[in-house]
Every structure is written in structure tokens, then in C-alpha cells.
Chain A
Amino acid sequence: MRTKANTWTARALIGASVLFILVMLALPLAMILSEALHAGWSAYWKAISDSYTLKAAHLTLTATAAAVVLNAVFGLAAAWAITRFEFPGKRLLTTIIDIPFAVSPVIAGLVFILTFGRLGWMNPILTAYDIKIVFATPGIVIATVFITFPFVAREIIPVLEARGNDEEQAAALMGAGFFTIFRKITFPHIRWALLYSVILCTARAMGEFGAVSVVSGHLRGKTNTLPLHVEILYNEYQFTAAFAVASLLAAAAIVILVARNIVEYMVKKEDGGHVR
């Protein structure tokens, strides 16, 4: 139940939150833009068209795309399994999905070093087939996938649970196959939740720093993602360039936010909103 904001408490609360948002979010964002453009557009363009920046952007997009695709497939599978079947260890699986949210990204990175690094237990196999994982692109991808794993399953499980499986059982009784049921009944219910989770996953994947920093080795032009590149530029006294690259990430974040709001609106419009 909402009331009009005319009480003293309401005004104070609104004032405080607006002030907080201005200081904590809007000002830093404005700072990024002003620092990025403070040497003019040509310096800005030079910074974002630099070959190291482009390579970093390429790697960030590769890792993000891989994370989105892999997590959509496995997240969907996990959500389906958890909400539609009874099996031993189901609760454990539900908990395990949340591990990446609970574990510090730095620890996640170290775990991959200990697994796939030269001293890791997987190393003999990897060397035998001449596969490089950490300090190379696959390591960056794995770290990103790990960090963003829970998003899809976490969004879809509540939707599937709220829906129940009556319609699917009815369809099965009428002789529909697995894929028909999925395509015609399950998927239409979850498509917005899926899109929503994919958007969140994209945002998180593009900005990931901690885990990627550990497995990267910071090889310039090879294992450097955009967030890592911002740090390098900043450490090299190239402040304009650092903020220019940071503004790219900020722009991507804003696009993602707008997309999220549109999807949220569509969800509400379509079925009263099962997405939280």
C-alpha cells in the first residue's frame, strides 16, 4: 500500500536516498566521463581505438559471450532438474549453485590456479595434450563462467516453482514429447526470466575483476580484459586513457540497465510478473 510522500518521514527518507545515490553513484559516474574527456575527443578516441584496448574488449566480449551461453544452457538444465524431478541430493545441488555468490572471486581464481596451473593436479593431462588454461583465454572464460553461474538458475527456479507442473503433466498425458513440452509450455513461461538473467549475467561478466585478475597473468594484448586494462592504464600514469576505457564499461552497463528495465516492464505486462 503506497501513500503520497507528504509526511515528514517520507520526505526525509527520499532526501537521504537521493543524496546517497547522487554522492555514491551519480558523481563517480560523472567523474569518469569528465576525466575521460578532459583531454578532448581526439585523446578519447585514441585511447579507445588503441590496439591493446581493442584486444581487451575482444577478450571481454568473448568471455562474456561464453559465460552467457554456457550458463544459460547449464542454468536452464539445473533449474529444470531441480523444479521438475525428485532426486537424492537435490537440496545440496540447490546450495552448490550459490557457491560462486558466497566465495570471494580471488579465492575462485586461486582454485583454478591450483587445479589447472603448472603445479595443479590436472597439469600432467593438460601438458600431455598441450592445452593451456590458466594464463590464457580459456582460464579467463572459466573464471567468468564460474563467477556468473548462479544467475540463470536463480532466476528461473522461482518462476518454474510458482507455475507448478500441471500443464506439463497434462501435455505429457496427451502424448507430447520432451522437446514439445519444453518448447510449447515451459519455455514461454520462463523466456522473460531467462532474458532477465542473461542480462544480469552479461553485466557481471563484463565487469569481473578479481577472479580474472588471478588467472590472467596480465599479459598485455593476450590475457587482459577491459577491467584489467583500466587498472594497467591507471598504473601507467595514462589517466585519460584509463577513464576512457572505464567509460566504455560504464556505457555498456547503462545499456544493460536500460535493457533490464525494458525486460522487467515486459514481464510485468505479460503475466503479472513472476520475476523478482
Chain B
Amino acid sequence: MKSLSRFFSFFLALATFFAASLFPATFVPAAELELTNVSYDPTRELYESFNKAFQKHYKAKTGKNISVVQSHGGSSKQARAVIEGNAADVVTLALAYDITAIEKAGLIKAGWQKSFPNNSSPYTSTIVFLVRKGNPKNLKDWGDLIRDGVGIITPNPKTSGGARWNYLAAWAWAHRQYKGDEKAVKDFIAKLFKRVLVLDTGARGSTNTFVQNGQGDVLLAWENEAYLALKEQKGKFEIVTPGLSILAEPPVAIVDSVVDKRGSREAATEYLHYLYSDEGQRIAGQNFYRPSNPVIAKEFGDRFDLKVNLVTVDDPIFGGWNKVQSVHFNDGGVFDQIYTR
């Protein structure tokens, strides 16, 4: 019985230690204000540095301390969480349709896309190929991806915003290649998805599959995500810019019902406006997003191929997000037909 009580006192001491070690964390002076930014997958590094800059800016401007709580994940999954009650003051998602979904749930007022400049997209990006060093499979353009023996990594268009941009970029290229022959375009997309080895739920998951786990020959990635992988793993990968790609415009919005309830509208507005400031734009550029302000974008001209041929989602071949979503990505849509055949 003695050994037993000794064991108990050890157990108790351990528990006390664990508990005690946690108290300092509880007594960190609380910031006066707090914003929650629910964002998509690859923006982790962007908002980490942006939030620090914003805290300083906000303190200087208003004298108040502010902290920003971040959440990241596949864009549609994140939108879903906000609809189900994840109380975001602002959402910064991969594509307008996901924010429109929150609008339809009644949390964001209609017309949100006109609240901030440039269709509420403070930064843009595009879709590129990340290949292994030396491009061993010699992948230069979309057409090369469907060759035998090519393994493709992309996230799932059902849950990931980036994946939908991937899909649309491939579609745009095929549409031009096959001169608008819809059957040929669908065949191409079907072949492309036959070559997909792993379909993760978010862009970052796919990057890890390709970069860390060494799966596949090519990752269809956000330009920013591809550059980040180059930076993290120097000398192991190369970026290939395809002959035609898509202009990805990830928008931002204030979640009206949340800020009105929490009284955080003023801070949330300031937060999103600051993304458009010169400093905010530079932080975007440093994190490999294309600044929407053309003057700042030029500062990063050696980094981005600013002349690449980009199609937008509002191009007649797509007709905007609402149409794209219902034609391609909703249940039973073109993606489902292609993927299950």
C-alpha cells in the first residue's frame, strides 16, 4: 500500500506541475479588443505578419490594443463553419462564391463585394505548376499533364477554393486549345483528374503531400503557395508558369451580423482597409501575393510574371462564380460527372 501512496503523490505532483505551468498563460494581460479572421489555407504566413503590422498601426491610430485570432482551412469548409456559427468578424476567403454562401445564410449583407476596392480583393494570385528540380517529366503547359505516368497533386474542388481555381485554369486552357469544343474540354479535364494521386481537402494539405511526402510529379498550386514552398525547401523545386492561367481574386468581407453583435465593426473595417494600405500591400507582395495596387505590384515586378496571360472567372466561358458553381461544382455538376466516370 505504501508504494501505492507514493505513486499517488507522484501523480498528484505531476498534475500540479502541469496545472501550475499553465497559469502564466492565463494571466497574460488581455488585449482590449479582439478580432477573429477566418481565412483559407495558404494565407497563414501572410496574416501572421499582417496582423503584427496591423496591431502596431491600430495602437498608433487609436491608442487601443487589439489582437487577431486566426483560423485557417479549406475555403468552403471555413465558410461552412462561419455559417454554422463560428463567430468570425472578418472572412478572408479564396473566392467570392464562398463569401456569397455566407451572405445567403443571412450573415453578410448583399453588395459586400463593393464595400472594398478592386471587388474586395486586396491581393490576387494565379495558378502555377510546382515541379521537382530539373522538371524531370518536362511539364511545360496544361497539355503535358495528361501524359502517361504523370502524377498530379491538387486539393478537392468540393472543399478547397484553390482547387476550384486549378480546375478553372485547366478548363480555360482546354477551352482555348480545343476551340470551345465542350466535349473535348470535358475529356481533357477527365483525363487530368484521372492522373490525380491525392485529393486533399485544402491547399496546404496538398502542398505537404507534394513537398513533404514526396507524392506526385506536379502540384497545381496557388502562385503564392508555390513560392512559399520554394522558399521553405530551397533547391528542390521549380515553378512552371503555364501558357494560360486564371486570375484568382480572393476577396475579403466583414461579417455584418457578428460585428454588429460584438460592436467590432469599426475595428473590422479598419483591419480590412489596412490590407489596401501601402504597408498592407507590401506585406502581401512579400508573402508572394500579387498586390492589387499596380504601383506596389511593380515593386515586385522581378518576382511575378506580370505579363502572364490570365483569364478571369467573369470571362464569358465561365460567366461568374454563381454560374460556375452551379454548372461545375454543385452536386451532380460537371466536376461530379467527370470525376465519377
Contacts and interface: CB of A to CB of B under 8 A. Distances in A.
Interface in B29-50: 36, 38, 41, 44-45
A58 B22 contact: yes
A217 B11 CA distance: 33
Tier of interface size on chain A: 20 to 34
Nearest to A133: B85
B26 A58 contact: yes
Contact of A235 (B36, B44, B85, B87): B44
Interface stretch (A23-31, A81-89, A90-98, A219-227): A219-227
Interface stretch (A11-19, A111-119, A168-176): A111-119
A266 interface: yes
Contacts of B18: 57, 61
A58 B83 contact: no
Interface in B74-108: 81, 83-87, 105
A266 B70 CA distance: 47
Interface in B15-71: 18-19, 21-22, 24-26, 28, 36, 38, 41, 44-45, 69-71
A119 B83 contact: yes
Contacts of A219: 36, 69-71, 86
Contacts of A221: 69
A118 B84 contact: yes
B25 A55 contact: yes
B110 interface: no
B14 interface: yes
Contacts, number: 74
Interface string A121-156: 001000000001011000000000000000000000
B259 to A, nearest CB: 16
A119 B84 CA distance: 6
Given A134-B84, A266-B4, A54 B69 contact: no
A51 interface: yes
A257 interface: no
B22 A54 contact: yes
A221 B71 CA distance: 10
A180 B71 CA distance: 52
Nearest to A55: B25
Interface string A231-243: 0101111000000
A259 interface: yes
Most buried by A among B81, B87, B105: B81
A61 B26 CA distance: 13
B204 interface: yes
Contacts of A123: 85
A55 B19 CA distance: 12
Contact of A259 (B11, B87, B228): B11
B208 interface: yes
A89 B4 CA distance: 40
A255 interface: yes
A218 B71 CA distance: 5
Contact of A54 (B4, B24, B44, B208): B24
Contacts of A119: 83-85, 105
Contacts of B339: none
Contacts of A69: none
User: Could you tell me the dominant secondary structure of chain B's interface residues?
Assistant: helix
B280 interface: no
Contacts of A55: 25
Nearest to A136: B87
A234 B44 CA distance: 12
Contact of B71 (A217, A236, A266): A217
Interface in A51-65: 51, 54-55, 57-58, 61
B19 A218 contact: no
Contacts of B26: 58
B69 A222 contact: yes
A77 interface: no
Nearest to B11: A259
Contacts of B105: 118-119
B22 A57 contact: yes
Contacts of A117: 84-85
A218 B73 contact: yes
Contact of A262 (B7, B38, B232): B7
Contacts of B83: 118-119
Contact of A135 (B11, B21, B87): B87
A58 B205 CA distance: 27
B72 interface: yes
- Pairs of residues from A and B, 8 with the lowest C-beta to C-beta distance, nearest first: A118-B85, A117-B84, A217-B86, A54-B25, A135-B86, A218-B71, A58-B22, A235-B204
13 contacts: A58-B25, A61-B18, A117-B85, A119-B105, A132-B85, A135-B81, A135-B86, A217-B38, A217-B71, A234-B208, A235-B208, A255-B14, A262-B4
Given A51-B25, A232-B72, A259-B11, 16 more contacts: A54-B24, A57-B18, A118-B105, A119-B85, A135-B81, A135-B86, A217-B81, A218-B71, A219-B86, A220-B71, A235-B204, A235-B205, A236-B45, A237-B228, A255-B14, A259-B7
